[in-house]
């Protein structure tokens, strides 16, 4: 009976997993924004950097112009740095029909904070621009979720320490055997 219940639960879970859609990039007006690796991890003192991809799928001859990048949550255990945003390669523009990758945001973890977790969304504010340089419509935000996990490495004893421990245990064993005789 337990096996039958387990199989029914397993089949239901498999069916639910089959219906779950993968995470998709934020898309608006034909502009797609994704983070290359949204979930980063590192050790205290590391700098974590998020890279992005922006694709202008079908803005009908309009370029995508970058205005700013911001995060929705305050970072703890370090310093956020939006100044690393490369502004679409320094031109602030993704041409109509093009795809561009670059650097979006970074986080310098505090070397004195052993563990921290940060999560939220990045807001990439863009506006569409025609070929004469005129802005079309209103600026809009494209969002992508991120996370940053900082954990200190587990202390691993050096081989010399292990040899000393093993030698002490062996000596203790030999002494106790001699005392028993």
What digits encode the pLDDT tens for the residues 38-94? Answer: 999 999 999 999 999 998 876 567 889 999 999 988 888 999 999 999 999 888 888
| Phi/psi-derived region of residue 77, left when phi > 0, alpha when psi is between -120 and 50, beta in every other case | left
CATH of domain 24-155: 2.60.40.10
Q: What are phi and psi of 2, to 5 degrees?
A: -65, -40
Distance, in Å, from the CA atom of 174 to the CA atom of 169, rounded to the nearest integer, reads: 9
Environment class of residue 46 by beta-carbon count within 10 Å: exposed (0-12), middle (13-18) or buried (19+)? middle
Average pLDDT, the chain: 81
The predicted pLDDT at position 84 comes to 94
In total, the chain counts a number of residues equal to 181
103-147 pLDDT, tens digit each: 999 999 999 999 999 999 999 999 988 888 899 889 999 999 999
* Tokens of residue 170, six digits: 């062996």
pTM of the full predicted structure? 0.69
Q: Break the chain into its structural domains and give their ranges.
A: 24-155
How far is the C-alpha of 52 from the C-alpha of 99, rounded, in Å?
10
């Amino acid at each position: 009976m337990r096996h039958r219940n387990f199989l029914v639960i397993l089949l239901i879970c498999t069916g639910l997993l089959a219906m779950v859609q993968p995470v998709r990039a934020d898309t608006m007006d034909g502009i797609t924004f994704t983070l290359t690796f949204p979930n980063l991890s590192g050790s205290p003192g590391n700098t974590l950097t998020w890279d992005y991809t922006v694709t202008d799928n079908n803005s009908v001859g309009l370029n995508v112009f970058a205005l700013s990048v911001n995060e929705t949550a305050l970072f703890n255990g370090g310093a956020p740095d939006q100044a690393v945003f490369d502004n679409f390669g320094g031109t602030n523009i993704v041409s109509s029909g093009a795809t561009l990758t670059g650097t979006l945001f970074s986080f310098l973890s505090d070397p004195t904070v052993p563990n921290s977790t940060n999560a939220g969304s990045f807001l990439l504010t863009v506006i569409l621009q025609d070929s004469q340089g005129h802005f079309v419509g209103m600026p809009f935000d494209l969002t992508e979720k991120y996370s940053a996990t900082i954990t200190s490495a587990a202390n691993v004893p050096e081989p010399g320490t292990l040899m000393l421990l093993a030698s002490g245990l062996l000596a203790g064993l030999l002494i106790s055997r001699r005392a028993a005789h």
